[in-house]
Amino acid sequence: MSEKYLKYVNDFITGDIDHLIDMFDSMENILRFFHKKDLLQYIDPFDTDVEDYQLEILNYLLNVVNDKETLKYCVSQLSDVIPKDDGYYIRIGDREDLADLFYGGGRDTSARDVAKAVLGEDDMWDRWGNTTDDIYRDVVEELNPANIERLKKHMLDILTNWKIEVDDLTPDLLNNYSEDGIFYLTPENVGDVIGDEESFMYLINNDYLSDLESDLSNVHSNAYNSAYETEIYNDVTSELETFFDMKSAKWEAVPSFKGSQKLTEFYFIKFNPGEVVNSIHKYVGDKNNWGYYDYNLNYVSTWINMMNTFMENGDEPYLDFRIPDYPDSRLVDKYINEFLPDYI
């Protein structure tokens, strides 16, 4: 390296750059010159002496030269990005940090609020206390054959040898099965009773099966709220697939820093192919045009913060979804049949 070139490099890396810009007319021309003379290897874009020009330097190294070592250096500035053999992973201590990628305005309850609750496993989902005013229509009619059999056994266990007096106000079905004005619930007639709303509710409302009403109401409430939570969780996960392979998501105990003997639980998700590289290239290219060192990559510190900067400025859309008013009835029915054995 000639002494003149050495002086240029020393001036640059010590931050004495203004006179070089006067000589070369622009930062890009300086970097082109260093590139041509094979001097870029001496430039550290994260040196504090050149922080005012970091984004311009990075933009040249990444988006003009496509320097792979600089890219690795950039990735290392983002503390939540972990390189592994099969790609890049995000590593976070709290899943709800991902909620920062969702839109947080525009309505009383935003997609960010809901995502934070789901990812943080909050208890906001018991939002509906009384979810049914008709347990026969909403629960009994939705039971599968296995749970109908369970309900039969439960009713027979409670009403074994129970004498139920019948009269003109008693449902016709019970009258038809009565002898000498007395109805007994039996294995032969219990299915017909369950299949007849009037007879089933008569036993409920006249305190023959009073606890069963509470149990079935609780089954519906649990199923209804759980179905809503599942639907929201699926919406959140679907949106996060914009950036991540959500099937790879898992908690893992790892050292919190290199060499540490103490293990800490972190949530890992694999980035979609190209996501980290493309977002860094885009960030550096876009923010270079702003010309403010406040946006320097090492000041951003995490990939989530970097994306937030995009999103706040409208350079990248927030993740968003329509918050449903009610859960999918098919999922409610599915959960009713899953949860019933926990109650009766």
Model confidence pLDDT, tens digit, residues 277-318 = 999 999 998 888 765 667 899 899 999 999 999 899 888 999
| Arithmetic mean of pLDDT, 87-114 | 92
Longest Cα–Cα distance in the chain: 120
Of the candidates 123, 343, 110, 322, which has an alpha carbon nearest to the alpha carbon of residue 231?
Answer: 322
Is 150 within 8 Å of 344 (Cβ atoms)? yes
Q: Are 214 and 327 in contact (CB under 8 A)?
A: no
- Picking from 76, 33, 34, 31, the residue whose alpha carbon sits closest to that of residue 58 is 31
pLDDT, tens digit, 9 for 90 and up, residues 62-96: 999 999 999 999 999 999 999 999 999 999 999 99
Name, in order, each residue with C-beta under 8 angstroms of 104's C-beta and a sequence gap of 6 or more: 110, 111, 112, 113, 318
Give counts: helices (H), strands (E), the chain.
16, 6
Strand partners, 244: 271
pLDDT recorded at residue 1 = 56
Burial of 188 (0-12, 13-18, 19+ CB in 10 A): exposed
> Virtual CA dihedral for 283, 303, 66, 55, nearest 10 degrees?
50
What is the model's pLDDT at position 126? 58
First to last CA, the chain: 85
Q: Are 176 and 193 in contact (CB under 8 A)?
A: no
DSSP-assigned beta bridge partners for residue 182: 165, 179
Question: Is the pLDDT at 252 greater than 70, yes or no?
Answer: yes
Residue 124 has pLDDT above 60, yes or no: no
Q: Which long-range contacts (CB under 8 A, 24 or more apart) does 105-110 make?
A: 107/323, 109/323
Comparing CA positions, the residue from 109, 111, 114, 136 lying closest to residue 125 is 114
pTM listed for this prediction: 0.83
